[in-house]
Structure 1
Amino acid sequence: MLKSKVAVQVTSPGILPDDVVMLGDAYLKPWKIPQGQPVTLKFGAMRQPVKVVAVEKFDGMRISQSLARRMGILAGCQLRLQYRSVGAVLALGPLIGVLISRDDPSMPEKPFGSITMFCKELVDASAVYGAHVYFFTPEGIGSSHQHVEGWVYAGGWRKIAVPAADVISNRLTSRKLENKPSVQHFFREVKLRHGTSVFNEKFLDKPEVFEALGRDRALVKYLPESHVLRNYTMLKSMCSKYSTVFLKPVRGSLGKGIIRITRLDQENFVAHHANVGGTRKQHFTNLAKLFSSISGKMKSVRYQIQQGLHLIDIGGRPVDFRALVQKNEQGKWSMTSIVARTAGSHHFVSNLARGGTLSTVKEAVAKSNLSSAQGHDASARLQRAALDIAQGIDTHIPAHFGELGIDLAIDTNGRVWLLEVNSKPSKNDNTPLQPDQKIRPSVRNLIRYARHLAEF
């Protein structure tokens, strides 16, 4: 099966009918594309019977304006082209759909809010790699699995009907939206009817991750002891075993709602609550009173109770690490970036939303209270852990992931631990755009993996 990148030109109205495409003879002869006989033009879920007309000394493809509109193409572009003799299919692509939480048509310059720049980067990367990308929300999904209402970029953002894509990247940031019956039905239909690949198709809950990875002997070394907090007995057991434990909302993010419990002596406990302004501190003269104070919250919030770790710190500010791992053009996990995050001065969580700061792994380890002997290969060990954990997620959780944000920590003995796995990693705090870069590696990798999935 031959593959190539072709410049697709859109003709003026009335020049070409929808069922004719003009193609440079440089493509027809080696691929043995039949002339004058019907072939099927495929673009995502769109299928159009066409006849191919050869054009001498022309290195491109011409299609009618109305056909281009049905394809969701508003101007000329570069796409990958394949001819599959079995079934006589002339395929263009890959067509990539990115499912996002919301749009705002009243803001044409910035219709996707803070992720608009990321979306434009994906458009630019698609042009480089011969792909076509659009963006759609759950509201853009109609009753048909054939097409959606999506946003394309052609000199500006425009919303039009586009075919269901070859590959869908699920960037929904809300479980409520992700679990909408219309969204789940659409995922099932496009996979079944069009062979669409959907990656990062679901959120990960903390207990799900730790239970799944706990079944892998090679990964247990990275896992602090963790359980879903069900009752006082469990809290008492963990607090007797560890001087510090953390309560983390099972479905939390950005450090919201985390409680750190520290045992001062047999009777006295301190609870630190993470909030936006800093840390709220409560003192309890026994564990029963502490449990009573959180039992009300447990009616609406499920907590994971986790072994407290003695993390490395910089001047008393805890340090952890965020690795972004993505699948590459061979479909294998690879390391895109890893950064150190140091907690803000009044926080015990390191999220940037809580005043944390970023640095390289090397800088953070050098400034920390980790000895030079324990820290000399810290970066390599963190990267190995991230890739091992990503592979473990693939092996033990029945869902398709193409990128993961993996939060890791190093304790004062130099041991690497897993804190959390995020299946909707932010592009904003991980792979900052360098002055000489127009497209971040994380964005390039997303397009490369999409090409791999669509076999273009």
Structure 2
Amino acid sequence: MPSIKLPIRIMNPGVLGDSDIVLGAAVAKRMKIPSQTPIRMLFGSFEHYVRVIPQSKTSTLRISPYLAGKMGLPPQTVLRLVYTPNSRTLHLGPVIGVLISRDYPGNPERPFGQITAFCREMTAAGQKQGAFVYFITPEGIEQGVSSIRGWLLDKTWRTAEFPVADVYYNRLTSRKLENKPSVQHFMREVKSRYRSHFFNEKYLDKTEVFDALQKDGRLVRYLPESHLHRGLASLKSMLSKYPVVFLKPVKGSLGKGIIRIQRMPGGSFISQTTQEYGIRKQNHDNLTKLHNALTGKMKSTRYQIQQGLQLIEVAKRPVDFRALVQKNSHGQWAVTSVVARIAGSQHFVSNLARGGTLSTVKEAVDRSSLPTAIKQKAGVRLNKAALEIAQGMDDQSPAHFGELGIDLAMDQSGRIWLLEVNSKPSKNDNTPLGDNKIRPSVRRLLDYASYLSGY
């Protein structure tokens, strides 16, 4: 069904009956909405029977303060309308809920800390596209779907009660929060009872990603050898094949706790571990001593062991690439951006949290030692790899994703490799934005949410 975007105007008390709405006569006629007879109106999970009063000279949808209060709508909201004649239902929305980790009620200017600017962008993008966006935390949904308390931006940030949304976008940045019984119950409840969509519903771990993608024969060419580390035997096996291997925490992020192990002549080994400040380097006479030195870490954390790669370098610093891949307004994967990340001095990982710096793909590739013919096609090939891997995750994983951060590498021969897939790409963007600036990545989130909800 086609939708139409309209500003919502809240009338003064007493002007309209509680269940009356005023709509432009031309719009009502075009959408075949009957007048002066009750029809069902839906706004997320909020349902109410209303009477449509057509008016020739209005370009807005006018509602009573009673309805606005029940829906949680502030003044100046812009929404899309879809009318389904068979069920005589007027849909207003889409209603989009964003689940974030925590709020800071005592800080009205930055109630969501570092991601407040992103939340403002989401609200502004929703207003432009005709979607209603609100924000909730695990604490706000502890009572279940019958009472959802969250935040909206109404000139300033304020809290309110909201109906269940058509679509939820999971921006929880903690596995502990994501796995809370109340959060898991909420996700199940909104999907089963209200048929809400919930995307990026779970964290991915490294073992899960590689095990899933190895089932797709088309993607094997991107996968370095990678296994769940099971002790001395797996370490010995991998180091007999490769001069360098990496041990990565299965549930790690931001480059924390990664161990690089290099086989040296004469049977000795060097291990380097990322720490908060720099790296810790140790020499080991043999493999047994190396393994014994790592045993303490392995007791509390599961590790993935991965083939080391000879990455392209800029000024002797390894380079990798982060592709942001998102679903668009047709529900199809599209590459939103690809950036190069150059490792910091004395580091072997490129994460910005570990001193890495950003660069364009072209600049990083041009500064590498790759042959010219490979440099010219690098951008296209990275895009292709990112799209194929994202589609592979869709095909092989039961979870629902609308965006993925895909970390790719290119070795000195020009071959592209997958390093990691991140289901919670960072939104802590410190790029200065003008008052009306909305990044393509935020617009695409709204596009996909609108697609899911039928608008």
- Deviations 1:331-364, CA, capped at 9 Å, x for gaps: 0000100000000002111011111110100000
More displaced 10-residue stretch of structure 1: 403-412 or 9-18:
9-18
Aligned to 2:227: 227
**Residue 137 (structure 1) aligned with residue 132 (structure 2):** no
Aligned to 1:257: 257
For 2:305, the aligned partner's letter is I
Q: Which runs of 4+ in 1 moved over 4 A?
A: 431-437
Counterparts of residues 126-165 of structure 1 (less than 5 Å): 126-165=126-165
Aligned to 2:437: 438
Aligned to 2:330: 330
Give the drift of 1:163.
Answer: 0.8
CA distance in structure 2 between the partners assigned to 1:271 and 1:129 by the alignment:
51
Q: Is the 8 A contact 2:114 2:428 kept in 1?
A: no
TM-score calculated relative to the size of structure 1: 0.97
1:437–1:387 Cα change, 3 Å: farther
- Deviations 1:239-275, CA, capped at 9 Å, x for gaps: 1111000000000000000000000124200000011
CA distance in structure 1 between the partners assigned to 2:167 and 2:202 by the alignment:
15
Give the drift of 1:22.
Answer: 1.5
CA distance in structure 2 between the partners assigned to 1:360 and 1:327 by the alignment:
23
More displaced 10-residue stretch of structure 1: 366-375 or 37-46:
366-375
CA distance in structure 1 between the partners assigned to 2:146 and 2:40 by the alignment:
16
Structure 2 segments unaligned to the other structure (5+ residues): none
Counterparts of residues 345-424 of structure 1 (less than 5 Å): 345-424=345-424
CA distance in structure 2 between the partners assigned to 1:63 and 1:153 by the alignment:
20
Aligned to 2:453: 454
Aligned to 1:285: 285
**What's the RMSD between the two structures over aligned residues?**
1.4
Q: Is the 8 A contact 1:72 1:152 kept in 2?
A: no
For 1:323, the aligned partner's letter is A
- Deviations 1:33-72, CA, capped at 9 Å, x for gaps: 2222211110011101111112222122111112112212
Give the drift of 1:434.
Answer: 6.8
1:392–1:432 Cα change, 3 Å: farther
Structure 1 segments unaligned to the other structure (5+ residues): none
Give the drift of 1:370.
Answer: 2.0
Q: Is the 8 A contact 2:144 2:182 kept in 1?
A: no
Q: Is the 8 A contact 2:25 2:55 kept in 1?
A: yes
**Residue 204 (structure 1) aligned with residue 215 (structure 2):** no
Aligned to 1:12: 12
Counterparts of residues 28-39 of structure 1 (less than 5 Å): 28-39=28-39
CA distance in structure 2 between the partners assigned to 1:266 and 1:328 by the alignment:
54
1:435–1:375 Cα change, 3 Å: farther
Aligned to 2:339: 339
Q: Is the 8 A contact 1:350 1:356 kept in 2?
A: yes
CA distance in structure 2 between the partners assigned to 1:374 and 1:22 by the alignment:
61
Aligned to 1:269: 269
CA distance in structure 2 between the partners assigned to 1:6 and 1:98 by the alignment:
23
Q: Is the 8 A contact 1:141 1:149 kept in 2?
A: yes
Q: Is the 8 A contact 1:152 1:158 kept in 2?
A: yes
CA distance in structure 2 between the partners assigned to 1:124 and 1:450 by the alignment:
15
Aligned to 2:70: 70
- Deviations 1:300-336, CA, capped at 9 Å, x for gaps: 1000000000001112111000000000000000010
CA distance in structure 1 between the partners assigned to 2:424 and 2:276 by the alignment:
21
- Deviations 1:376-434, CA, capped at 9 Å, x for gaps: 211111110000000000000001100000000000111000000000011345x9567
CA distance in structure 2 between the partners assigned to 1:51 and 1:142 by the alignment:
35
